[in-house]
Amino acid sequence: MEGQILLHPTAALIVWLTVVLATQHLRYAGLLGLVVVLVLAGYKAGRAWWRYVVRSRWLLLALWLILAYHTPGDAWLEKPWAPTLEGIHDASLQTGRLVVLLGALAWLFQELGRAGMVQGLWGLLRPLAGEGGSVARLVVRLSLVFSYFDRPDDGLNWRQMLAGEAPVLGDDVAAIAVDLPSWRWTDIVVVLIACMGFCGAVWL
Per-residue pLDDT of 105-142, as tens digits, reads 999 988 888 778 888 888 887 776 655 557 667 776 77
Amino acid at 186: T
- Strand partners of residue 75: 84
- This model's pTM is above 0.85: no
CA geometry: angle 101, 61, 109, nearest 5 deg: 25
Q: Which residues of the chain have pLDDT under 70?
A: 1-5, 128-133, 135-136, 140, 143-179, 204
Return phi, psi of residue 73, to 5°: 160, -165
Q: Which of 147, 197, 161 is nearest to 16 (CA)?
A: 197
- CA 13, CA 71: separation in Å to the nearest integer? 34
How crowded is residue 103: how many other Cβ atoms within 10 Å of its Cβ?
26
- CA 152, CA 73: separation in Å to the nearest integer? 43
Q: Which pLDDT belongs to residue 168? A: 47
Q: Which pLDDT belongs to residue 171? A: 44
Give the three-state DSSP class for 74: coil
- Per residue in 21-36, pLDDT (tens digit) is 999 999 999 999 999 9
In whole angstroms, how large is the CA radius of gyration of the chain?
Answer: 20
What distances in angstroms separate CA 34 from CA 11, 18, 198, one per listed residue? 18, 12, 11
Distance from chain centroid for Cα 29: 20
Cα dihedral 118, 3, 98, 54 sign: negative
- CA 155, CA 152: separation in Å to the nearest integer? 9
